[in-house]
Structure 1
Amino acid sequence: PLDLTLLHTLLAVPDHEDGRELVSVAREVSATLPQLVISVAAREGVPLGSGSTDELARARTRAARYEQWRAAVAEAAPHGRVVKGPSLAARYPQDVVRPVGDLDLVLPDEAELWAAARTLTAGHDAEPYELTLVTDPQGALHVLLTVAWPSPDPLLEQELRVELSTAAFYGDLGALPLRPALPARQGLADLLSVVEERVQRPFHAKDAVDVLMLLHTGELADTGAVTDTLDAFRLTPEAHELLTLVHAAAPHPTLEALVSRTGPLAEDENRRRAATGARPEPAGVPERLASGFPVWGMLLDTGTGRCPTDRLRLDPGPSGTLAHTPVGSFLLVAGELVDPAEHAAAAASLASLDAGTHA
């Protein structure tokens, strides 16, 4: 059961400690994890004060705004799929809040991605926030665009963000390559998305609860299909780690079977990754794109009309490579530090392009 006892176990908080300590430890793990703890406490009848009541209200308001934007995107890009977020939240008890961060949407191609982006920027006042471009092992270009809105409470909450991507799993772009597709079953897509988080950070209590909710709704019952999918997407080492963690906290025969099945496959995958070895990482934008390494876009302006409405256009030049998209133009860069002169030259190149267009 999803209760305070389970959360004490997952957060390694002794049973004799009260709810305040549980919330405090949760906040050290993740800024949004207290939302889960507080909502479970409220479900068990723990009285809430103004602070915890407000925290839940803000989380629910945030989730409602994401649902509004998801519905708007669904009209413009009908083949987009939600992963994690609202999809997993729907499996939680109705009165429990799954921590709300951002909204992740996977689109089948650039046309639908830019349709979704235009809907959110032109129709819902989002601003382009981050752009990442990377080619997959087959040489196809993939786009990851984040659009954002200002935080409703900047001292307490991060900005609201929707991530739009033509690829589902980016891996580490080294031994674990980009894998663009999602499995057809939504439960498996959500499980893989949770497991892939391990590439970015350690697992924590929310990931374990996500797995338990998938278990509770029967999504993991076919252990053979689950294992085969994890293996096909090369995520057995991460899955074995997470499933072992969850089974230790909440033992279950299905979890035991999955831990047993993924163990040998995880060893095989780790050997496969070790044999791949490190690849030399090019410094230049064109070379990185050609080699399957990511490049990032620094927003120059939100002007439109410099490219088709359904795809971006790359514009290599002496001042750097520009990416003109249906929601704005970006200077593509290979790292965090950008020469101010390069940025100024790119802005001048953009102004020159616009002057020539309107001449």
Structure 2
Amino acid sequence: MNEDSLDPDVVERLLGLPPGLPAWQAADAASRARILATWLSSATLRGIAIGAGARSYLDRVRRRVAELHGLGDRLATAYGLRVLKGARIAAYMPPGLLRQSGDCDLVAPDEDALWNAALDLRERLGAVPRCVSVLRSGGETHVAVFLKWPAEEPFLDKPMGVDITTYAFGGDLKRVPLRVRAPGPDDLAGLFAVAEERFQHKFRAKDRLDLLVLARALESRLGDRLADVVCGHAAELALAPELCRLVASTDERVPLSAAWGHTLARLRPLAREETARRRTGRPGIYATRFGLPLDAARGEGPRLVVHRRSGLDLATTPMGTCLLLERPEVTDEDLTRAVEHARVLSTASGGREVDRCGTLSTHSSG
């Protein structure tokens, strides 16, 4: 990698902007690419004057990121969770260059730790579950809970969020096996967590910036072992196609080092092999159901329990009752029946009166 690859203008290079573009046009491009605060931080590092409104926005995003980093560290210490990205990648950023964070990704060692951390967030911040996912294969079950609460500017900024899972990487849920553990070192775990983002969206400037800082850290730490270590983990984690695409697309915008060029060449055949394995019925695939929150009534036990009622599956959890769905959509009729069954379950378990969650309307369909 070129030594100047992480100069403050790297954000504009990752956006594919021509040199000398007026700052307001660069800001517009950064905003459309969802990386405006990062660009603003790079602008201040280059001595570009920004107005009071932009400065206020940048300061607010910095506070948001700091809060998420602090939450991740606190929950990791209290409940044995692991932070996959967030502060762990931000630690490799050049001083002053902000890495934006939409939420905090945490991996719990077991379901008890997951619910304890989730309840902590509800009690301290009023966090509510947006969705609860249940993944099963044979006799093994994994759980994911996605929590939200208002941002500092609740009518302007997306809600704060924490995603807690009992597995590291979920893939596409159909053709890529569940991978429970991430690599031990933070730089490697971050690298593959960024590659995993491809299952959620096309790679963005933010993902490529992450790759740049992690690539430099990994090359410094691993030296001549870079290709062996990265390719070995890529094959084991079934992420060679995604990592290959991430490295190649970043290299097109900001050239990487010869060592990473060699690593990319070795990743390509692994990516072809992994792509050929991605078919229905592949071993290691978990059946996934999405949990639509119905109430905030705490279940009887410390873990998720599934109840079959009139053809519907409801899960009671320490944070409330959910309707389990194979797809994240539900008819009004099933939703009405599910709410009534949830009320009965709550009454039977001695739970408090059921309150319908405000997240229902975002999931229901006629």
TM-score by length of 1: 0.88
> Per the alignment, in what secondary structure is the counterpart of residue 70 of structure 2?
helix
In the alignment, is residue 151 of structure 1 matched against residue 145 of structure 2? no
> Per the alignment, in what secondary structure is the counterpart of residue 303 of structure 1?
coil
> Per the alignment, in what secondary structure is the counterpart of residue 338 of structure 1?
coil
CA contact (8 A) 1:82 1:106 kept: yes
- What is the rounded CA distance, in whole Å, between the counterparts of 2:256 and 2:191 in structure 1? 18
CA contact (8 A) 1:227 1:258 kept: yes
Letter matched to residue 292 of structure 1: Y
Q: Partner residue of 1:314?
A: 306
> Per the alignment, in what secondary structure is the counterpart of residue 3 of structure 1?
coil
- What is the rounded CA distance, in whole Å, between the counterparts of 1:163 and 1:358 in structure 2? 29
Query: Using a 3 Å threshold, how does the CA distance of structure 1 residues 220 and 199 change in structure 2: closer, same or farther?
Result: farther
> Per the alignment, in what secondary structure is the counterpart of residue 247 of structure 1?
helix
In the alignment, is residue 301 of structure 1 matched against residue 325 of structure 2? no
Cα-Cα RMSD: 2.2
Q: Partner residue of 1:268?
A: 273
In the alignment, is residue 43 of structure 1 matched against residue 40 of structure 2? no
Q: Partner residue of 1:93?
A: 94
Letter matched to residue 9 of structure 1: R
CA contact (8 A) 1:303 1:327 kept: yes
Residue from 308, 325, 343 that aligns with 1:333: 325
- What is the rounded CA distance, in whole Å, between the counterparts of 1:291 and 1:64 in structure 2? 36
**Structure 1 unpaired stretches of 5+:** 281-289
Letter matched to residue 270 of structure 1: T
- Render the CA deviation track for 1:273-325: whole Å, top value 9, x for unaligned: 2xx2x469xxxxxxxxx983321111111111x2322x211111215111111
In the alignment, is residue 123 of structure 1 matched against residue 124 of structure 2? yes
Q: Partner residue of 2:364?
A: none
> Per the alignment, in what secondary structure is the counterpart of residue 259 of structure 1?
helix
- What is the rounded CA distance, in whole Å, between the counterparts of 1:72 and 1:185 in structure 2? 19
Residue from 235, 249, 262 that aligns with 1:245: 249
Query: Using a 3 Å threshold, how does the CA distance of structure 1 residues 264 and 294 change in structure 2: closer, same or farther?
Result: same
- What is the rounded CA distance, in whole Å, between the counterparts of 1:208 and 1:185 in structure 2? 20
Residue from 4, 15, 22 that aligns with 2:26: 22
Letter matched to residue 254 of structure 1: A
Identity of aligned residues (%): 30
> Per the alignment, in what secondary structure is the counterpart of residue 38 of structure 1?
helix
- What is the rounded CA distance, in whole Å, between the counterparts of 2:221 and 2:304 in structure 1? 37
CA contact (8 A) 1:56 1:97 kept: no
Q: Partner residue of 2:343?
A: 351
- Render the CA deviation track for 1:33-87: whole Å, top value 9, x for unaligned: 1111111111111112112212211111101221332243134312x11011111
CA contact (8 A) 1:73 1:120 kept: no
Letter matched to residue 53 of structure 2: G
- What is the rounded CA distance, in whole Å, between the counterparts of 2:316 and 2:60 in structure 1? 36
Query: Using a 3 Å threshold, how does the CA distance of structure 1 residues 157 and 260 change in structure 2: closer, same or farther?
Result: same
CA contact (8 A) 2:305 2:315 kept: yes
- Tell which deviates more after alignment, 335-344 or 92-101: 335-344
Q: Partner residue of 1:285?
A: none
Q: How does 1:74-93 map to 2 (within 5 A)?
A: 74-78=76-80, 80-93=81-94
In the alignment, is residue 186 of structure 1 matched against residue 151 of structure 2? no
CA contact (8 A) 1:321 1:331 kept: yes
**Structure 2 unpaired stretches of 5+:** 352-366
- What is the rounded CA distance, in whole Å, between the counterparts of 1:239 and 1:57 in structure 2? 33
CA contact (8 A) 2:173 2:285 kept: no
Query: Per-residue deviation at 1:346?
Result: 2.1
Q: Partner residue of 1:287?
A: none
Q: Partner residue of 1:3?
A: 7
Query: Per-residue deviation at 1:348?
Result: 1.9
- What is the rounded CA distance, in whole Å, between the counterparts of 2:285 and 2:42 in structure 1? 47
CA contact (8 A) 1:13 1:22 kept: yes
Query: Per-residue deviation at 1:341?
Result: 2.5
- What is the rounded CA distance, in whole Å, between the counterparts of 2:335 and 2:136 in structure 1? 24
